[in-house]
Amino acid sequence: MEKMTADRIDQEVRSAFPQGSIQQVQVQEYGDDPEIEPGQTGIRIFIDPAAPRPGAESAHETLRQFVQANRETVHKLRREQPSIGWIEFRLGGEQLTTKHGPAIRTAPERQGTPSGEAAAELTSVMTRLGPEDLATVDTLITAGIANSRAEVLRWALGRIREHPAYTQIQERVREITELKAQF
């Protein structure tokens, strides 16, 4: 990402939130963080830990209150910057030099994800991919085969189900299940 673009996003973020509440903004792109998908931008916002948050008894509660109080600002940033994959909020201070400590990450609705009745039939599955597999998935996104990593995996499973050998595997699994039931 060009420095000018990152600086512009930094300024937009700082001006969108209450003055003095943002200590640092990190604008990240694909390749900076493995969780950023091709074409996305990740924004890590460090809020000023000294800013008073009435009723906040913990760092996580402070973050939660800040995000809740500024949710319209977050929605506005997403509308103005559609490439934002996620926005993560952390407390500033000591956390500026570490990835430890509480954080709240917001993510937009996924394009290509079915809604309504079809969405109710979906089950979330978390998987860890090695560098070669992740590069394969990201290449398919870049090539326009899918819009997200989740969509690539659904697409790949669909291709497996189309293969005649998959039907044979299903039949064998049914036979094994029937044999187990006989014990």
Residue by residue, pLDDT tens for the chain (183 residues) are 677 788 888 898 888 888 888 999 999 988 888 888 888 889 999 998 776 565 667 778 888 888 888 888 888 888 888 888 889 999 887 655 556 678 888 876 555 555 555 556 677 777 889 999 999 999 999 999 998 888 999 999 999 999 999 999 999 999 998 998 888
> In this predicted structure, what is the pLDDT of residue 50?
73
Which two tokens mark 160?
Answer: 């497996």
Q: 66 CB contacts (<8 Å, ≥6 apart)?
A: 21, 47, 53, 89
Residue 73 contacts residue 87 (beta carbons within 8 Å)? no
Which two tokens mark 43?
Answer: 């924004």
Would you say the pTM of this structure is higher than 0.75?
no
